Amino acid sequence: MTDTELRVSKIENGTVIDHITGGQALNVLTILGIDGTSGEEVSVGMNVPSERLGRKDIVKIEERELSQNEVDVLSLIAPNATINIVRAFEVVEKNDVTRPETVRGILSCPNANCITTKNEPVESRFDVLDDGVRCTYCEMIVRESIASHINSA
Ligand SMILES: [Zn+2]
């Protein structure tokens, strides 16, 4: 085992999100709906030295695997992240995130007149651009602080 593998495999079962862009760990927790109130067992490392990124954040979550939707949104704020699935202290799967063409459901549109923010049961949908996301319905573009547009479930 390399040092990196040792560092990420210290949880028994769950997910280690490694190579998160420095400073984005708390936004990652927001995306995953983790606020500490549900008793989740979570470790967060911030500004850990990284050969690849200079500084990186790392999040370890016991007993949790991520949905594709969550990984898709995560890729918007942490494009270099790796998702490690851990079972019985071993990394059994390691995936890089890829930017999807669209993200559905997780982000909410900042346009109050958008059909997805009205009472209509329309799931939000954003097209992913190089530098942000664009609402498929009203075409409003979100470039900064994407994490602040995450639906609070
Ligand atoms: Zn919209």
| Structural domains present in the chain | 3-96 (3.30.70.140), 102-149 (2.30.30.20)
Residues 6 or more apart in contact with residue 108 via CB below 8 angstroms: 116, 117, 124, 149, 150, 151
Q: Is the distance from CB of 143 to CB of 77 less than 8 angstroms? A: no
pTM of the entire predicted model: 0.81
User: Which run of H or of E encompasses 83?
Assistant: strand 82-87
Tell how far the Cα of 111 is from the centroid of ligand 1, in angstroms: 5
Determine the pLDDT at residue 80.
92
pLDDT tens per residue, range 23-61: 999 999 988 889 888 888 999 999 999 888 899 999 999
Tell how far the Cα of 75 is from the centroid of ligand 1, in angstroms: 21
pLDDT tens per residue, range 91-106: 999 999 999 999 988 8
Helices (H) and strands (E) in the chain, counts: 3, 9
Ligand 1 being an ion, which residues bring their Cβ within 5 A of it?
109, 111, 114, 135, 137-138, 140
CB environment 15-48: b (16+ within 10 A), e (fewer): bbbbbbbeebbebbbbbbebeeeeebebebbeeb
Q: What is the C-alpha separation between 118 and 111, in angstroms, rounded?
A: 10
Tell how far the Cα of 104 is from the centroid of ligand 1, in angstroms: 12
Determine the pLDDT at residue 38.
83
Determine the pLDDT at residue 131.
85
pLDDT tens per residue, range 59-98: 999 999 998 888 988 999 899 999 999 999 999 999 999 9
Tokens of 74: 């995560």
